[in-house]
């Protein structure tokens, strides 16, 4: 997710000091592994990495940019275009904070994979609250660029939240092209589970592997959005990740959960490069630890297992997906020109007045909830 929703928190001052002072490497040296935490055991990474480490796989990280000179990322990152086009450059506080962390989380799981960084947002604004530059969707453009430039997996730890969650035709079309090229797409489910629980895109689009966040112990993190589009879940609390200014810090959110899952997909593809997106999804869901009933809106099919997924990718289930001819009713009326993702404006004054009054009340309620939530988060950070 964007920087507001990553809920960054260093687990202890001593840990932060130690990690930040780890020695830097020369440009020709191998990357320094990002320190592993509880997520390594939860995912079964040691066993998975004995089988595959992401060799030959490129993961496109669509985010706020990636600092290529971080010790954990040296020699691993190719930088693509900046589709956000706000004039910011590396070194600005709003450039690369979130993206650098997410890229390091991918490589924590798949250390021999490569990263294609495509900038589609900044580190200050939430998509939805501030859509950024006008024009075509930066996310849609980023997906198309990744498809055309060798990405094997597309990782998007981002999404629209609160008042701005929205469906975008250009993004849907770009995702269709990714599916046609056989590229799995992973996205974070959203961090609104403890407030308004708004839907988040791109996680909500068909075909996207939407990842919920787990806390230690394997249960859902309180902030993780609860939606029927959730596919699987992965660790997302106090995940040590690279800082864009150097060193490491712990972060929480469905963002690291999605990045770690993208790394698992990279392991699967390096073990079996013929996997289709449908097979990737099937293997992840079948090898996950299912909740009662098989799946639910909290964690989808449950916590993923990197080791089990990589082993199962050698012999995946058959891909039964194929184009299907539409056999429904035929409608011969001419299109009326109304976009199918929006509604025509209301024309009733009384409804407008009622909505205005309701909106004022809703804003008061929202303010109270946000203040309460902020206080709760501050208390947790101080504790």
- Euclidean distance between CA atoms 253 and 124, whole angstroms: 16
- Euclidean distance between CA atoms 141 and 156, whole angstroms: 13
Q: Which residues on neighbouring strands pair with residue 214, listed in sequence order?
A: 220, 235
Q: What is the DSSP letter of 36?
A: P
Is 122 a residue of the active site? no
Number of C-alpha atoms within 13 angstroms, CB side, residue 107?
Answer: 33
Q: Using alpha carbons, list the distances in angstroms from residue 210 to 194, 230, 245, 287.
A: 18, 5, 29, 16
- How large is the C-alpha radius of gyration of the chain? 21
- The closest alpha carbon to 142, from 256, 65, 242, 229, belongs to 65
> Which own/partner contact pairs does 317-320 have at CB distance under 8 Å and 24+ positions apart?
317/279, 317/282, 317/283, 317/286, 319/276, 319/278, 319/279, 320/278
User: Which of the residues 117, 137, 252, 255 is marked catalytic?
Assistant: 255
Is 63 a residue of the active site? yes
Report yes or no: 319 and 274 within 8 Å, Cβ to Cβ.
Answer: no
Pairing type for strands 114-119 and 58-63 reads: parallel
- The closest alpha carbon to 37, from 288, 254, 237, belongs to 237
Q: Name the phi and psi angles at 344, rounded to 5.
A: -65, 155
Report yes or no: 17 and 248 within 8 Å, Cβ to Cβ.
Answer: no
Sign of CA dihedral 106, 108, 110, 114: positive
User: Which of the residues 40, 63, 64, 168 is marked catalytic?
Assistant: 63
- The closest alpha carbon to 188, from 148, 230, 222, belongs to 230
Token digits for 223? 């902030």
Is 251 a residue of the active site? no
User: Which of the residues 70, 98, 125, 244 is marked catalytic?
Assistant: 98
Enzyme catalytic residues: 63, 98, 255
């Amino acid at each position: 997710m964007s920087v507001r929703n990553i809920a960054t928190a260093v687990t202890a001052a001593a840990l932060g000091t130690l990690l930040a002072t780890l020695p830097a490497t020369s440009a020709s040296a191998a990357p320094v592994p990002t320190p592993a935490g509880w997520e390594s055991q939860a995912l079964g990474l040691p066993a998975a990495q004995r089988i595959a480490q992401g060799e030959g796989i490129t993961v496109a990280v669509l985010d706020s940019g990636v600092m290529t000179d971080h010790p954990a990322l040296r020699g691993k990152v190719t930088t693509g275009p900046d589709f956000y086009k706000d004039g910011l450059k590396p070194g600005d506080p709003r450039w690369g904070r979130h993206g650098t962390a997410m890229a390091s989380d991918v490589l924590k799981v798949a250390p021999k994979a490569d990263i294609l960084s495509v900038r589609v947002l900044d580190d200050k604004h939430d998509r939805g609250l501030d859509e950024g530059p006008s024009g075509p969707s930066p996310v849609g453009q980023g997906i198309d660029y990744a498809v055309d430039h060798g990405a094997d997996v597309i990782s998007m730890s981002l999404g629209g939240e609160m008042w701005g969650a929205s469906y975008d035709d250009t993004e849907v079309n770009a995702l269709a092209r990714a599916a046609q090229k056989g590229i799995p797409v992973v996205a974070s489910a959203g961090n609104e589970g403890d407030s308004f629980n708004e839907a988040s895109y791109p996680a909500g689009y068909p075909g996207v592997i939407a990842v919920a966040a787990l806390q230690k112990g394997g249960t859902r993190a309180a902030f993780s959005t609860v939606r029927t589009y959730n596919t699987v879940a992965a660790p997302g609390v106090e995940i040590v990740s690279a800082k864009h200014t150097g060193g490491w810090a712990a972060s929480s959110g469905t963002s690291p959960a999605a990045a770690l899952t993208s790394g698992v997909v990279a392991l699967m593809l390096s073990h079996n490069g013929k996997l289709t997106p449908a097979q990737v999804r099937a293997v992840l869901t079948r090898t996950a630890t299912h909740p009662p009933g098989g799946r639910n809106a909290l964690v989808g099919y449950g916590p993923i297992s990197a080791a089990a997924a990589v082993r199962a990718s050698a012999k995946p289930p058959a891909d039964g997906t194929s184009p299907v001819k539409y056999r429904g009713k035929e409608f011969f009326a001419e299109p009326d020109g109304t976009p199918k993702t929006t509604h025509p404006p209301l024309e009733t004054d009384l409804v407008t007045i009622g909505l205005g009054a309701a909106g004022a009340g809703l804003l008061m309620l929202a303010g109270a909830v946000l203040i309460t939530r902020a206080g709760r988060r501050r208390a947790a950070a101080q504790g």
